[in-house]
């Protein structure tokens, strides 16, 4: 416990403190799944069982409460369980029916499982326990693959049908829970994380250079690729059917409304309906047979979740968790404290410091792919803090993409009028944009607008890339070594063009692109891996299926009115939150990289990026690496985002690619 000791320094370079009364709640947990469908009936099932046990054990951080495997000789399934519902042995997985017709492993939570259970009971199904996974078992027996459309929740699951000898894999529509797969010698293998998947013999740890090329643009590897040749991720809202000896088939089973598919609602009507839907989304996510709490940054999203959770705590104080930095410009703890005091929560804090080098190898190992979203580190640390007190935490993730919360959306909204101007007028607009203020408080959207107007001759996707790219095309032309130069012809952000094409405006196009790429491939990966790395389950009410189906059909003018970003959400929460919370502009949760890489972490940069091993890979030109580091050190230019992406890429190589074949992969030592 952090209290009453007040300070707890540890090897990760962060300190934790506790504020507020000591009142209890309950906690929750999560799971990891693995499985194999051999090409032919296995000649040595004992060996496959042994390997499956090794793969399952690799996921014990996702499920420390129970680990088990099952086989009928044609399929092999394993699960590592973090108990949340039905905490006894009847909730363990792999789970099947009494007749042995179906076997299921599921990573996730089904929030409408009680409703489905009642429906199935009326159809004559008999349940042996209270687990939500058992509802999937009987739901498949009743409705076949149609059970997927009925599930309201977050999940990655596998269903083995012993009668038809077929495996069904599926992910929830948003992509909250991960699932990767590969084929090796005709054997089909899947797992929640790549660390377990790559324990299957015959899967080579070979880098996927195309994926790395895109990673350097996006800061993450875009799905369905991974950074390993031959390993893929199941896309959100898709199912894959696998049968022994047959090629897997992949298809979507559910979609969301596109930006053009809107239904008119008045502002007042939308506010009333949002209040009901959001409260319900929070309420169902508080179902747990063990204690839970909430991440709290003090922003509108997490504060709204805490406000609504406080309605359903039966008088008990809610546990909340925040992390900040010594750099005041990026420290949100004062705002979180204000919200925590307003609702009387049992509030815990941590401070992250530049001495984070010991945490970086852990991040490189847990994420499996190179991952350069620096907010993964504070997210990992706040998850570790929360896990000391709870097993489930609700978060505000998804609010920005659904309710137009990012400043780039406001900038795109302000740029919409440029579309109708002749080219000469666009040049004038770009010239005028150069005089927009750049540094005064409250002008960040203007700075973004200035950058967008400077791209007056670009399409929407390229304008978006100018804001979001870690490595833009000219950085790649200047910096790529011989290993990556063959990929220069591939423009990474062109992958987003279909989403912009589906949208009626630039703002809705950017939000739609984020919803389909940045959200599932970056934000939800970051959250899941950081939380599961600490055996913590996280739940996201803003990404509730019912809420999304409703919100994505709202006209842009309702979600983003004259009140600016998140104006609809603010109108619903204005009577419940402190006024200062509603007025706050959005801050990110990323590290203060510009300061740290130019100072405390600078020796680490040179040691890692300019080592003979790193330079020998031929990924980057040595003079480009030196230029990036030296210009950041001097303050002449700041390349902190690119340097961070290069640093995390090299740590991924050292962790995953360099060890000899057959060696167990573990976090390296720096």
Element (H, E) at 71: strand 66-71
Q: How many CA atoms lie within 13 A of 139 on its CB side?
A: 25
Q: Is the entire prediction scored with pTM above 0.85?
A: yes
Confidence of residue 270 (pLDDT cuts 50, 70, 90): very high
- The dihedral built from the CA positions of residue 105, 107, 112 and 113, taken in this order, carries a sign that is positive
Comparing 314 with 171, the larger pLDDT belongs to 171
User: Are 587 and 330 spatial neighbours (Cβ–Cβ below 8 Å)?
Assistant: yes
373 within a domain of the structure (yes/no): no
76 within a domain of the structure (yes/no): yes
pLDDT of residue 442: 39
Average pLDDT along the chain: 87
Is pLDDT above 90 for 416?
Answer: no
Question: Beta strand pairing status for 238-242 and 249-252?
Answer: antiparallel
User: Are 538 and 523 spatial neighbours (Cβ–Cβ below 8 Å)?
Assistant: no
Domain containing residue 246: 31-252
In the chain, the percentage of residues whose pLDDT exceeds 70 is: 87
Joined together, the tokens standing for residue 180 give 């990767």
**102-110: strand order across its sheet:** 95-96, 102-110, 153-161, 166-171, 238-242, 249-252
Greatest Cα pair distance in the chain? 74
pLDDT of residue 463: 82
178 within a domain of the structure (yes/no): yes
User: Are 139 and 104 spatial neighbours (Cβ–Cβ below 8 Å)?
Assistant: no
Dihedral, CA of residue 532, residue 131, residue 316 and residue 391, to nearest 10:
-10
**346-352: strand order across its sheet:** 14-19, 346-352, 319-325, 292-295, 392-394, 537-539
Confidence of residue 175 (pLDDT cuts 50, 70, 90): very high
344 sits in the region (left: phi over 0; alpha: psi -120 to 50; else beta) called left
Omega before residue 603 within 30° of 0, cis: no
Q: How many helices (H) and strands (E) does the chain have?
A: 29, 18
Q: Where are the alpha helices (DSSP H) in 246-350?
A: 267-284, 300-309, 333-343
Of 13-22, 122-131, 346-355, 656-665, which gets the smallest average pLDDT?
13-22
3-state SS string over 531-567? Answer: HHCCCCEEECHHHCHHHHHHHCCCCHHHHCECCECCH
Mean pLDDT of 417-438: 62
Element (H, E) at 136: helix 132-143
User: Are 351 and 567 spatial neighbours (Cβ–Cβ below 8 Å)?
Assistant: no
68 within a domain of the structure (yes/no): yes
Entry field: residues in the chain: 670
pLDDT of residue 264: 77
pLDDT of residue 11: 33
pLDDT of residue 4: 25
The whole-angstrom separation of Cα 409 and Cα 420 is 19
Mean pLDDT of 236-241: 98
Q: Where are the alpha helices (DSSP H) in 300-388?
A: 300-309, 333-343, 360-367, 376-387
- Three-state SS for 666? coil
Is pLDDT above 50 for 268?
Answer: yes
From residue 239, how far is each of 136, 292, 442, 612 by CA, in Å?
Answer: 15, 31, 45, 44
pLDDT of residue 13: 38
Is pLDDT above 90 for 280?
Answer: yes
pLDDT of residue 18: 37
Q: How many CA atoms lie within 13 A of 140 on its CB side?
A: 28
The whole-angstrom separation of Cα 323 and Cα 613 is 35
The whole-angstrom separation of Cα 240 and Cα 225 is 16
- Tokens 């279909």 belong to 498
DSSP state of 520: I
Please name the residues in contact with 129: beta carbons below 8 A apart, sequence gap of 6 or more. 86, 88, 90, 91
613 within a domain of the structure (yes/no): no
pLDDT tens by residue, 570-588: 999 999 999 989 887 776 6
The whole-angstrom separation of Cα 428 and Cα 306 is 47
Omega before residue 4 within 30° of 0, cis: yes
Among candidate residues 285, 353, 292, 347, the one with its CA nearest the CA of residue 321: 347
In the chain, the percentage of residues whose pLDDT exceeds 90 is: 65
97 within a domain of the structure (yes/no): yes
Mean pLDDT of 170-186: 95
Is pLDDT above 80 for 33?
Answer: yes
How many domains does the chain fold into? Answer: 1
Paired with 96 in beta bridges are 103
The terminus-to-terminus CA distance of the chain in angstroms comes to 28
Confidence of residue 303 (pLDDT cuts 50, 70, 90): very high
Element (H, E) at 606: helix 602-609
pLDDT tens by residue, 88-145: 677 789 999 999 999 999 999 999 999 999 999 999 999 998 889 999 999 999 999 9
641 within a domain of the structure (yes/no): no
269 within a domain of the structure (yes/no): no
The whole-angstrom separation of Cα 288 and Cα 25 is 11
From residue 198, how far is each of 183, 229, 600, 668 by CA, in Å?
Answer: 11, 11, 35, 17
The whole-angstrom separation of Cα 358 and Cα 670 is 7
Is pLDDT above 60 for 17?
Answer: no
Say which CATH number the domain at 88 has: 3.60.20.10
3-state SS string over 372-430? Answer: CCCCHHHHHHHHHHHHCCCCEEECCCCHHHHHCCCHHHHHHHHHHHHHHCCHHHHHHHH
pLDDT tens by residue, 181-230: 999 888 999 999 999 999 999 899 999 999 999 999 999 999 999 999 99
From residue 381, how far is each of 298, 321, 350, 378 by CA, in Å?
Answer: 17, 10, 8, 5
pLDDT tens by residue, 607-651: 999 999 999 999 999 999 999 999 988 888 889 999 999 999 999
């Amino acid at each position: 416990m952090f209290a009453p000791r007040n300070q707890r320094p540890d090897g990760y370079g962060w300190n934790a403190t506790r504020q507020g009364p000591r009142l209890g709640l309950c906690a929750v947990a999560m799971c990891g799944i693995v499985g194999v469908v051999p090409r032919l009936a296995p000649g040595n099932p004992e060996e496959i069982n042994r390997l499956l046990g090794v793969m399952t054990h690799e996921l014990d951080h996702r499920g420390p409460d129970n680990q088990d495997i099952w086989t009928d000789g044609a399929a092999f399934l394993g699960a590592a369980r973090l108990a949340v519902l039905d905490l006894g042995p009847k909730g363990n997985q792999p789970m099947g029916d009494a007749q042995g017709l179906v076997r299921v492993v599921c990573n996730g939570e089904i929030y409408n499982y009680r409703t489905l259970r009642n429906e199935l009971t009326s159809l004559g199904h008999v349940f042996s326990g209270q687990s939500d996974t058992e509802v999937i078992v009987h739901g498949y027996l009743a409705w076949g693959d149609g059970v997927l459309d009925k599930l309201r929740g977050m999940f990655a699951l596998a269903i083995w049908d012993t009668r038809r000898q077929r495996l069904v894999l599926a992910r929830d529509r948003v992509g909250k829970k991960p699932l990767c797969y590969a084929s090796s010698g005709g054997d089909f293998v899947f797992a929640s994380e790549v660390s377990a998947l790559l324990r299957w013999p015959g899967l080579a740890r070979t880098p996927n250079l195309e994926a790395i090329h895109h990673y350097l643009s996006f800061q993450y590897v875009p799905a369905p690729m991974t950074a390993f040749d031959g390993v893929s991720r199941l896309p959100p809202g898709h199912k894959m059917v696998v049968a022994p000896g047959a090629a897997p088939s992949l298809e979507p089973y559910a979609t969301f409304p596109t930006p053009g598919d809107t239904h008119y609602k008045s502002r007042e009507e939308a506010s009333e309906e949002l209040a009901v839907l959001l409260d319900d989304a929070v309420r169902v996510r508080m179902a747990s047979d063990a204690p839970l709490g909430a991440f709290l940054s003090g922003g509108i999203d997490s504060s709204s979740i805490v406000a609504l959770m406080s309605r359903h705590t039966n008088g008990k104080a809610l546990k909340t968790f925040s992390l900040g930095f010594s750099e005041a410009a990026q420290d949100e703890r004062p705002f979180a404290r204000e919200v925590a005091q307003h609702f009387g929560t049992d509030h815990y804090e941590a401070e992250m410091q530049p001495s984070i080098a010991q945490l970086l190898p852990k991040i490189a190992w847990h994420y499996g792919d190179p991952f350069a979203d620096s907010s993964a580190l504070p997210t990992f640390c706040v998850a570790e803090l929360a896990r000391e007190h709870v097993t489930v935490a609700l978060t505000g993730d998804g609010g920005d993409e659904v309710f137009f919360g990012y400043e780039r959306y406001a900038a795109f909204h302000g740029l919409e009028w440029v579309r109708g101007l002749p080219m000469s007028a666009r040049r004038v607009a770009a010239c005028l944009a150069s005089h927009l203020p750049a540094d005064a408080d409250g002008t960040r959207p203007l700075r973004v607008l200035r950058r967008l107007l400077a791209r007056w001759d670009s399409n929407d996707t390229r304008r978006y890339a100018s804001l979001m790219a870690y490595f833009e095309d000219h950085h790649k032309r200047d910096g790529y070594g011989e290993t990556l130069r063959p990929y220069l012809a591939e423009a990474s952000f062109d992958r987003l063009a279909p989403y912009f094409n589906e949208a009626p405006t630039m703002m809705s196009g950017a939000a739609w692109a984020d919803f389909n790429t940045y959200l599932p491939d970056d934000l939800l990966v970051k959250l899941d891996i950081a939380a599961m790395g600490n055996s913590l389950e996280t739940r996201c009410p803003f990404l509730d299926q019912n809420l999304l189906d409703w919100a994505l059909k709202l006209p842009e003018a309702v979600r983003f009115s004259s009140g600016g970003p998140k104006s609809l959400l603010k109108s619903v929460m204005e009577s419940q939150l402190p006024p200062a919370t509603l007025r706050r502009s959005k801050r990110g949760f990323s590290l203060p990289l510009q300061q740290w890489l130019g100072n405390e972490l600078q020796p680490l940069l040179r040691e890692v990026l300019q080592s003979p091993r790193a330079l020998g890979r031929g990924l980057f030109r040595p003079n480009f690496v030196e230029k990036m580091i030296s210009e950041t050190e001097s303050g002449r230019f700041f390349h902190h985002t690119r340097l961070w992406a290069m640093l995390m890429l090299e740590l991924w190589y050292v962790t995953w690619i360099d060890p000899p074949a057959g060696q167990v992969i573990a976090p390296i030592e720096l």
